[in-house]
């Protein structure tokens, strides 16, 4: 019998017990689908992480101010409140000392009410340089961005984030209008394009939302708001003096990132008595995230492997039942000239048909991964907005791509499982004594 | 005590067993299912094996059918010593030189009539004209209009006719039938016997096991077994055999 005829004969025998065969196929289908889906998910998460790094800039080093643990006896710099964090001098030192620097982007940040007439919101006031927009991939949708000219003149100009402009100016044109930021009026010169949040990586960098931002020239920030921020806390007044909240250092060469980060650490250490700053390297975070992701992937593969194993056991179970049930058929075939090998081949063919069908259907179901995930995410977004808000951005933006090798591997594994788990029942069938088998029932 | 011999000389011998014994060991106790049996089957022979239950008829047929190996003794089938062949070689011998008809028909339920007839051909290289041969055999046994039917859609007599066609498809040197009429009524039994007799007249060598004397009477010779030994071999008169024949 040719292999083709044998496969056809296998299909016919399996169709004698449609439900039973369908269940065996289902077991393999689930296993194969699990492999493809889980690999796709892992890949989707990896792509998300890669995107975050790109958003932060793989060649950037982020230096930020950190408030030291409060120690009332020490560090009372001006006799009133504490001073900590990065200094404007640090920015200059970095600019002059770091080789291969593309740009250093300083910023200052504070929460203030932003108001226009009756409409107001709690905004995040960012004092920055024109570079900031390029460094954060923020496009200007209308008007203009901040210019060096604005910085030189300490003008009271502001660029609004897209969402802020929408909230404050639902009807009117924001350009040229005056908004109240804290106690001062500023003229709106531009509106940024919408920008999705930059996700957090490995927990070390908080997700950065852009939807409440208003951007001032850094020099204006210093002139109008100042370094010292006084706040009322539980009835007592506290003051903090911070010159810069963050300096984003962008290098030309990716390979120089780790060495440069070390160099900046050394540089800052020389001028800061306490560690009131942190040097964060997205590249390093990416490495950490990679290890976490690898463990995640191993876990996924273990789960997929278990489901394949269960599917294989299902096939074996069904083939053992089939062999018992068709003992007489085996006897007949043996009497009519079938060797043991031919009996083995016959039953192996049947298991391969089962597992192959499961594999093919599993691959078909694998193609549904992307639309299914999209549908599920959209369902959560509209039906369970709270759950949605709590989801990490990695998951919210998940778009699992079909990984070609996973299809090939999953299908090959399914057929391999058919052979492995079919071999024992087939050998049992072949080991039957023809006379005993003919006498069966 | 002389044992009746069923030994013949000549080149026309299809199957020849000599001093064949078959022992079964059950819980330390030995059962001698066949005890030094010798029998020659000439081309065109038609032998009925009779004997009480447990006398060793099926055991003898299984040895003749290469389904079982004798514990001792020799078996030459179609000029080849098959007593000591291994399992795979015995399978090949069965597939190429033997035809089987069973009491319970033993057709494969998921296969159609024509596929059941063709079954032995699956275990040897394909030859041109295989399919035509199956159709011709279906016609021979009167089932040309039932080719696509399943065994469950046929009567017992029809199923047995499919089995006979299947036993012929590989052009066997020897046809073995263990109680082929055991599940059939008298009229159908004789239809089947008519068919076997006609095949024998056409030159086929047939061995059948039966309990019924009127079935055995249709054979050329009757071998009687008792306790695993050949008790007697008798020739049937020719006119006796013809009396029941209903077909041409
Ligand atoms: N596999 C076996 N194991 C042990 N003993 C066996 C086996 N097969 C047959 N026997 C014994 O061999 C003897 C002959 O059995 P056999 O089947 O040949 O009888 P038979 O003449 O065909 O009987 P029946 O007319 O009932 O079919 C019996 O005593 C039986 O118990
Ligand atoms: Mg018997």
Question: A378-400, pLDDT tens digit by residue?
Answer: 999 899 888 888 887 777 778 88
- For ligand 1, atom 14, the nearest C-alpha belongs to B56
Interface of B with A in 67-86 (CB under 8 A): 67-68
Which of A12, A337, A338 is most worth mutating to test chain B (most B CB atoms within 10 A of its CB)?
A337
Integer-rounded Cα radius of gyration of chain B: 18
The answer, for B105 touching chain A at a CB cutoff of 8 Å, is no
Distance from CA of A337 to the nearest CA of B (A): 4
**Residues B49-93 pLDDT 10s:** 999 999 999 999 999 999 999 999 999 999 899 988 999 999 999
Q: Is the model's pLDDT at B247 over the cut of 60?
A: no
- Comparison of pLDDT for A51 and A199, the residue scoring more: A51
Residues 6+ apart with CB under 8 A from A76: A82
Element (H, E) at B188: helix B186-201
- What is the distance in A from the centroid of ligand 2 to the CA of B137? 28
Indicate whether A204 pLDDT > 70.
Answer: no
Task: Give pLDDT, residue A196.
Answer: 67
**A339 in contact with B, Cβ within 8 Å:** yes
Residue A78: pLDDT over 60: no
A352: which 2 tokens? Answer: 């391969």
Question: Under an 8 A CB cutoff, do B110 and A16 touch?
Answer: yes
Q: In percent, how much of chain A has pLDDT > 90?
A: 38
A chain contacts of residue B67, beta-carbon cutoff 8 Å: 334-335, 434-435, 438
Place of tokens 């296998």: A10
Residue B212 confidence (pLDDT): 93
* Interval A406-430: pLDDT, tens: 889 888 988 898 899 999 999 999 9
Q: In this predicted structure, what is the pLDDT of residue B2? A: 42
Strand pairing category for B29-42 and B13-26: antiparallel
- Domains of chain B, each with CATH number or no CATH: 44-67+86-247 (3.40.50.300)
Q: What is the pLDDT of chain B when averaged over all its residues? A: 90
Residue A435 has its nearest CB partner, among B68, B95, B109, at B68
Q: Residue B176's pLDDT band (boundaries 50, 70, 90)? A: very high
Residues contacting A164, CB < 8 A, separation 6+: A114, A121, A123, A211, A212, A213, A214
Are B213 and B180 in contact, with CB atoms under 8 Å apart?
no
Please provide the distance, in angstroms rounded to a whole number, between the alpha carbons at the two ends of chain B: 44
CB B212 within 8 A of CB B181: yes
Q: What are phi and psi of A169, to 5 degrees?
A: -130, 70
pLDDT (0 to 100) of residue B187: 93
- CB proximity list for B204: less than 8 A, separation 6 or greater: B44, B168, B175
> Over the stretch A398-409, which tens digit does the pLDDT of each residue have?
888 888 888 898
Which residue has the least CA distance to atom 25 on ligand 1?
Answer: B53
Can you give the pLDDT at residue A76? 45
Q: Could you report the per-residue pLDDT of B133-152, keeping only the tens digit for each?
A: 999 999 999 999 999 999 99
Is the pLDDT higher at B91 or at A83? B91
Which among B67, B109, B124 has the least Cβ separation from residue A335?
B67
| Complex confidence, ipTM | 0.92
Alpha-carbon gap: A47 to the closest alpha carbon of chain B (Å) = 52
Q: Is the pLDDT of residue B48 over 90?
A: yes
- Digit-coded pLDDT (tens) for A254-308: 888 888 999 999 999 998 888 888 888 877 777 777 787 788 888 888 888 898 8
3-state SS, residue B151:
helix
Nearest chain B residue to A345 by CA: give it.
B123
Question: Which atom, in ligand 1's list, is nearest to the CA of B60?
Answer: 18
Token pair for residue A426?
């087939």
pLDDT at B125 over 70: yes
Question: pTM of this prediction?
Answer: 0.73
Pocket test for ligand 1, best of B34, B49, B59, B63 (most atoms within 8 A of CB): B59
- Residues A48-56 have a mean pLDDT of 73
CA angle A404, A406, A408 (to 5 degrees): 75
- Which of A124-128, A201-205, A342-346 shows the lowest per-residue confidence on average (mean pLDDT)? A201-205
- Closest-CA residue, ligand 1 atom 10, reads B33
How much is the average pLDDT of A155-159? 92
> Average of pLDDT values for A120-128?
92
pLDDT band of residue B5 (cuts 50, 70, 90) is very low
pLDDT above 70 covers what percent of chain B? 92
pLDDT bin (cut points 50, 70, 90) of residue A10 is confident
Query: Which chain B residues are closer than 8 Å to A335 by Cβ?
Result: 65, 67, 94, 100, 106
Compute the distance between CA of residue B150 and CA of residue A16 in angstroms, rounded to an integer: 13
Query: For a pocket test of ligand 1, which of B24, B179, B208 has the largest count of ligand atoms closer than 8 A to its C-beta?
Result: B24
């Amino acid at each position: 019998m040719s292999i083709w005829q044998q496969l056809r004969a296998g299909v016919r025998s399996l169709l004698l017990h449609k439900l039973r065969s369908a269940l065996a196929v289902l077991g393999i289908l689930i296993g194969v689908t699990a492999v493809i889906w889980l690999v796709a998910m892992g890949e989707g998460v990896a792509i998300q992480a890669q995107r975050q790094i790109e958003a932060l800039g793989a060649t950037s080093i982020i230096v930020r101010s950190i408030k030291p643990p409060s120690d009332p006896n020490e560090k009372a710099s001006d006799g009133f409140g504490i001073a900590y964090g990065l200094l404007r001098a640090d920015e200059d030192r970095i600019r002059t000392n770091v080789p291969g620097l593309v740009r250093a982007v300083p910023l200052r940040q504070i929460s203030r009410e932003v108001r226009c007439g009756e409409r107001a919101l709690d905004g995040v006031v960012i004092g920055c340089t024109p570079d900031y927009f390029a460094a954060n991939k923020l496009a200007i949708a209308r008007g203009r961005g901040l210019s060096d000219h604005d910085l030189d003149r300490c003008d009271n100009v502001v660029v609004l984030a897209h969402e802020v402009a929408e909230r404050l100016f639902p009807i009117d044109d924001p350009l040229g209008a005056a908004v109240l930021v804290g106690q001062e009026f500023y003229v709106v010169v531009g509106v940024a394009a919408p920008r999705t949040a930059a996700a957090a990586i490995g927990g070390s960098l908080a997700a950065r939302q852009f939807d409440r931002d208003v951007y001032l020239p850094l020099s204006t920030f210093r002139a109008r708001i100042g370094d010292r921020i006084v706040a009322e806390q539980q009835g007592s007044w506290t003051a903090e003096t911070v010159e810069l909240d963050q300096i984003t250092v962008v290098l030309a060469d990716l390979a120089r990132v780790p060495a440069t980060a070390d160099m900046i650490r050394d540089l800052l250490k020389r001028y800061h008595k306490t560690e009131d700053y942190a040097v964060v390297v997205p590249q390093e975070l990416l490495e950490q995230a990679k290890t976490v992701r690898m463990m995640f992937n191993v876990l996924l593969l273990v789960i997929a492997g278990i489901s394949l194993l269960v599917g294989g056991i299902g096939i074996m179970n069904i083939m053992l039942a089939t062999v018992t049930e068709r003992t007489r058929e085996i006897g007949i075939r043996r009497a009519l000239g079938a060797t043991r090998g031919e009996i083995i081949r016959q039953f192996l063919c049947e298991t391969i048909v089962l597992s192959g069908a499961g594999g093919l259907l599993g691959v078909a179901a694998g193609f549904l991964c992307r639309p299914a995930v999209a549908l599920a995410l959209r369902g959560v977004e509209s039906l369970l907005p709270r759950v949605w808000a709590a989801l990490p951005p990695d998951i919210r933006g998940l778009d699992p791509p079909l990984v070609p090798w996973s299809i090939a591997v999953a299908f090959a594994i399914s057929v391999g499982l058919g052979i492995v788990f079919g071999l024992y029942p087939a050998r049992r069938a072949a080991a039957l004594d023809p006379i005993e088998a003919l006498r069966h029932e | 005590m002389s044992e009746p011999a069923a030994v013949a000389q000549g080149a026309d011998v299809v199957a020849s067993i000599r001093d064949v014994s078959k022992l079964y060991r059950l819980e330390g106790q030995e059962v001698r299912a066949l005890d030094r049996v010798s029998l020659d089957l000439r081309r065109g022979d038609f032998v009925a094996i009779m004997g009480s239950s447990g006398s060793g008829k099926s055991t003898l047929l299984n040895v003749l059918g290469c389904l079982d190996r004798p514990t001792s003794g020799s078996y030459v089938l179609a000029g080849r010593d098959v007593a000591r062949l291994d399992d795979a070689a015995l399978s090949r011998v069965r597939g190429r030189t033997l035809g089987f008809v069973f009491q319970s028909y033993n057709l494969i339920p998921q296969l159609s009539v024509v596929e059941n007839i063709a079954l032995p051909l699956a275990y040897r290289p394909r030859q041109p004209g295989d399919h035509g041969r199956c159709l011709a055999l279906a016609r021979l046994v009167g089932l040309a209009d039932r080719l696509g039917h399943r065994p469950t859609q046929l009567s017992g007599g029809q199923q047995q006719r499919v089995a006979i066609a299947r036993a012929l498809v590989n052009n066997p040197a020897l046809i073995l039938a263990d109680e082929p009429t055991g599940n059939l009524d008298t009229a159908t039994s004789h239809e089947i016997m008519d068919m076997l007799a006609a095949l024998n007249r056409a030159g086929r060598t047939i061995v059948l096991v039966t309990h019924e004397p009127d079935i055995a009477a249709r054979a050329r010779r009757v071998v009687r077994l008792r306790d695993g030994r050949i008790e007697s071999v008798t020739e049937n008169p020719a006119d006796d055999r013809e009396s029941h024949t209903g077909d041409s």
